[in-house]
Chains A and B, each alone.
Chain A
Amino acid sequence: MMKYDDYIYDLSTPGRTGVDMPEPDVPETPIPAEFVRDELPLPELSLVQATRHYLRLSQKNYAVDKGFYPLGSCTMKYNPKVNEWAARLPGFTAIHPLQDPHTVQGAMGLMYDLQQMIAEIAGFDAVSLQPAAGAHGEFTGVLIMRAAQLARGETQRHKILAPDSAHGTNPASTAMAGFTAVQIPSDKDGNVDIEALKAALDDEVIGIMITNPNTLGLFESNIVEVCKLVHEAGGLVYGDGANLNAIMGVVRPGDLGIDVMHFNLHKTFSTPHGGGGPGSGPVGVVAELAPFLPGPIVDLKEDAGEYVWKQPAQSIGRIKSFHGNFGVMVKAYTYIRMHGAAGLREVSETAVLNANYIQARILQMGDYPIPYGHRCCKHETVAQGKISGAEDIHTLDIAKRLIDYDFHPPTIYFPLIVHEALMIEPTETEDKETIDAFLDALDKIADEARETPELLHKAPVNAPTRRLDEVRAARHPILTRLPSATATQ
């Protein structure tokens, strides 16, 4: 079953259809022939075939519902099933985004409450739920910063700073908005280098993008000073909220001086990643930036007790059609309502406890260096796949060998400033036995690396496929396969 790789078009048999549609119940209207396509090369499957095909494909995936998924920076926590139930209620799925607001007060109320709750959690004054993902939220935030600077008449500003530990989306969002990305080095403790920051700040700087805790898993202990310096230079501070899972109920980014931040509802607030999406990347801002948010957002007319759409006065405009990924919002709302303030703090404290336990045990084990292991980490720790006495073993080999032990590997080769990085984020939803089993596997793999390195080089052997040839895929891209193409190859 693991070896199943039937291709959907190969299952096709002429004349089959999975779903019968009714005959027209109205008089038919001729369709002009000039419009009609000659061929529609879609497969023809029975419903049984389609069901089995997708079920068998699914079985070739690893997933949080199967086991431990310590993918750093991705917060692969358990996805509560009640969230899925909620998002599938007909009152949420079968409503049209352009309906009269009077007919969708329940949905708008949910969005309003979610805006309020996440603003409170992170210490902001206003939130737009429109962005569809974290990077989309970042791009939105950069456009908001630009709009605010233009409104102040500061047209000369075009540079956005980001530390060298930043996610790739930070400089990419900067460039996409038409600005210049400037990299700031980290100091020996993994914080933004304050002297380098000072040197980079001038009146051409729009602001800085900063992830806190950063991608080394460390709290930027200089954060208040960083914000102060950037503000003094007339800049704004963007917070990448990807790592909010470490600090809920512990500290609010808005209180620290961050002006605008995106949330990853699909990380912090337990909505599933879906094999790559959909996410949801709301943006929170301080009061000064609220007029620039993308809209419409939901407002409450207190006197009438009625929810209405409101376009912020100097909005950067619409960043997505309709109102954002509403289905994802329902799940995040459900999660927050089930936790409350104390529950969210316990989430963050436990996520950080688990990560520090892993860090302590790895340091104790001694096989995998942790460059910033002298500090407490937050939600994740970054080790290195550099095992002494096994110099030809790389992080990639360790990651692939972990698959044989039935674990999803950590994030590898990121952040870029750590050589051979293994970025481990356990989240709060794993029990100690699971974490211990993972650590035991890391320990065994270090021994194997020294004694039987070929086990690592050829790993994985207990997976649905062996290592895949990525170079070949990129050199000779095959991006679709249709029946006619199959015949010519």
Chain B
Amino acid sequence: MRYIPVTDDDRRAMMDAIGIEDIDELFADVPAEFRYPQLDLPEPLTEMEVMRELDMMAAENANLREFASFLGAGAYNHFVPAIVDTVISRGEFYTAYTPYQPEISQGTLQAAFEYQSMAAALTGMEVVNASHYDGATAVAEAAIMAVNILRHKRRTIVVSPTLHPQYREVLRTYTQGMELNIVGDETGDSDFRALIDLTNKDTALVIVQNPDFLGQLHTPQEMQDLADAVHAKGALLAVATDPIALGLLKPPGEYGADIVTAEGQSLGNGLSFGGPYLGIFAFRMKHVRKSSGRLVGETVDADGNRGYVLTLSTREQHIRREKATSNICSNQALNALAAAAYLAAMGKHGLRKVAELSWHKAHYAARQIAQLDGYEVLDDKPFFKEFVVKCPRPVTEINRFLLEEYGIIGGYDLSQDYPHLGDAMLLCVTEMNPREEIDDLVTALKEAAAPHIRLELEVK
């Protein structure tokens, strides 16, 4: 049945070779009282039936091919050229395992090496590993790496309040057994100078995000000043960033970052309800032996021809066990391949165009919304593709109106993570939002603030 090609005759011949009469004999060492439980699972479906069921489940979701969306907050609706899926759908790529046998894995290895190179170019850093799970776990791994680099003598991590709230959560989850102090994000203050004041001789790492979670841009000078101040106190600086923004903006490698992390989903990976995504992890060569995750290196074969292998594996769990720099084994290789194919297809001109389009459209949207009665756009700092809008009523109510009346998926409700901002939403605009969608959003927001709509929403 299904994917089992063994016939009854094969089965008989194999049992004869083993010297058994019944398959059950192979499980004689399983405690008899627990053997062969009746599993309560739905009856099996054929391929035809399962496709029909899945089609129906998928259709229950409001997808972004049918709905306009201004939702970002760490997962972004950017264009994915068709070539990406063609590449990652090659059976030779997606049905291969980790390249433990390099002679028959050069496709995976070279593509990963090229990903490392292109991501290094993008971030302005010297080394990028083959991937971490996502933007959040990359931040947690950065903290662990910094503590290791500083030989566990420094036990404080200073985090910016405008680092993605989920990244801060994951950082705390990862380090809960490590007895570290994580400080800096108690208030919503997004000024990095407050972080410098918190940095002292116990600080291993300062982590900020640029563009930050609220979309704001910190100037390269401001970032360099931060890096200098952090380094003067003997600590390291990690910057979480947006790889699309780096098509246009100065990369963290140019303003003093020691570790750069990013959610790489925007590079050729779909939204897919939150995963699988891509943790981009970049750092300086001098720290390579304290780094976590797989690395692909260039070498030569017995004939002197160029080739690639997994390298510096003595950092990893399969060799070093409890002394490894991380427990990571499986990573997000296919997502890194998607990012490589995306960067190769878009190239320097295409990526810059994507970044510029996002910038222009986001700024157009912000200007229109700023003119609406009852709304206020927070623009005391420059922004890239996301910005904060203070709203005349709770964001959940506005979003319900946008969805029901206009088929628009609104912005991220900031009231839980940043209560001091009041009724505020984080809007995201990318190259995927045509002008008509933006104009519709503006019209819909205007209506949502109107007195008669307010009454209707209250009744609901």
Contact = CB atoms under 8 A, between A and B. Distances in A.
Given A58-B93, A61-B108, A473-B299, A29 B412 contact: no
B21 interface: no
Nearest to B64: A94
A250 B272 contact: no
A62 B105 contact: yes
Contact of B2 (A32, A339, A353, A376): A339
Interface in A172-187: 172-179, 181
B186 interface: no
B419 interface: no
Interface in B165-187: 166-167, 169-170, 172-174, 176-179
A479 B409 contact: no
Contacts of B299: 468-470, 472-473, 478
Contact of B93 (A96, A275, A345, A472): A275
Contacts, number: 686
Interface residues of B, number: 213
B161 interface: no
Most chain-A CB neighbours within 10 Å: which of B5, B295, B314?
B5
Interface stretch (A100-108, A282-290, A386-394, A448-456): A100-108
A338 to B, nearest CB: 5
B336 to A, nearest CB: 8
Given A169-B327, A318-B170, A353-B26, A104 B300 contact: no
Most chain-A CB neighbours within 10 Å: which of B39, B122, B326?
B39
B191 interface: no
A184 to B, nearest CB: 14
Most chain-A CB neighbours within 10 Å: which of B36, B59, B97, B356?
B97
A53 B98 CA distance: 21
Given A103-B403, A172-B322, A327-B275, A8 B61 contact: no
B42 A354 contact: no
A1 interface: no
Nearest to A79: B95
Interface string A86-99: 11111111111111
B46 A350 contact: no
Interface string A242-277: 000001011110011000000000100010111111
A360 interface: yes
A473 B297 contact: yes
B133 interface: yes
Contacts of A51: 83, 86-87
Given A97-B273, A294-B173, A24 B356 contact: yes
Nearest to A330: B54
A199 interface: no
Contacts of A139: 174, 327
Contacts of A36: 248-250
B348 A42 contact: yes
B136 to A, nearest CB: 4
Given A320-B137, A321-B136, A474-B312, A276 B97 contact: yes
Nearest to A8: B114
Contacts of A47: 83, 345
Taking residues whose C-beta sits less than 8 angstroms from the other chain, chain A's interface range is 35 or more
A179 B101 CA distance: 33
A464 to B, nearest CB: 5
Contact of A96 (B91, B250, B273, B321): B273
Nearest to B311: A473
A442 interface: no
Contacts of B103: 400, 403, 460, 463-468
Contacts of A481: 113, 117, 298
A20 B333 CA distance: 27
Contacts of B307: 5, 465, 468
Nearest to A483: B121
Interface in B63-89: 63-65, 67, 69, 71, 73-75, 77, 79, 81, 83, 85-89
Given A92-B273, A249-B39, A276-B294, A21 B350 contact: yes
Given A95-B273, A354-B14, A58 B107 contact: yes
Given A45-B347, A63-B92, A317 B176 contact: yes
A3 B296 CA distance: 19
Contact of A61 (B13, B41, B92): B92
Contact of B74 (A53, A266, A321): A321
Contact of B270 (A3, A58, A93, A294): A93
Interface stretch (B27-35, B195-203, B225-233, B452-460): B27-35
B37 A357 contact: no
A357 B42 CA distance: 32
A352 interface: yes
B275 A106 contact: no
Given A60-B107, A322-B275, A338 B44 contact: yes
A174 B1 CA distance: 40
Given A62-B96, A103-B62, A251 B34 contact: yes
Contact of B219 (A17, A34, A275): A34
Given A7-B110, A37-B250, 18 more contacts: A17-B346, A17-B350, A18-B347, A37-B246, A61-B92, A94-B63, A279-B330, A280-B276, A321-B263, A323-B275, A327-B270, A340-B44, A353-B11, A357-B18, A403-B104, A431-B10, A472-B299, A480-B113
The 3 closest A-B pairs by CB, nearest first: A91-B58, A322-B274, A106-B60
24 contacts: A8-B117, A24-B357, A26-B435, A35-B248, A42-B122, A47-B345, A61-B104, A66-B91, A171-B322, A219-B30, A251-B34, A274-B333, A327-B276, A340-B41, A346-B1, A361-B17, A376-B25, A403-B103, A431-B10, A463-B104, A464-B104, A469-B302, A470-B299, A477-B295
